[in-house]
Amino acid sequence: MRWFWIDRFEEFVRGRSAVAVKNVSLAEEHLHDHFPGAALMPNSLVVEGMAQTAGLLVADAIEYNRRVVLAKVAAAEFHFDAVPGDCLRYRAEILDLKPAGSLTRVSSHIGDRIQGEAELFFAHLEPGEGVPRLFEPDELLRWLDQMHIYDIGRDQAGQPLARPDW
């Protein structure tokens, strides 16, 4: 089973920034365990939503040629909890992009309030032995389509993103 901690993208600028949305719903099973009688989305899952948003931004920037893996949460701070009914908006930007890895800054917002902030470092791994394939290309493209990346995505010149033909 795969867990997706973002529902859709609202903005996507290749190699620069992205905004994704996660609606926190009482229908999600993990909320019933954290904590009984006072449901909230654990901040570790908020970090995962941040990582998925920034990780897809980085993977697109390197044309999906390497596996992008969260290697380090360099810093993270949370100001309040996300609860059912909240809409988390993740804002990610690439701070540094090198062949071996990338540094991103991501924040989560609920309304006009900053819920959390983090700096995330991603390793860029060559496919091969010891580096599992996480998604088949067609499966990844279906997921990206469902999150509307190619409907709203733009390159840095403002032109629509072309859907890869794998």
**How many residues can be counted in the chain?**
166
The verdict on whether 109 is a catalytic residue reads: no
Active-site choice (34, 109, 124, 148)? 34
Taking CA atoms, 132 is separated from 4, 22, 127, 129, in Å, by 19, 27, 7, 7
Cα three-residue angle 77-79-83, rounded to 5 degrees: 115
Could you give the CA distance from residue 135 to residue 4 in angstroms, rounded to a whole number?
13
By annotation, the residues acting in catalysis are 34
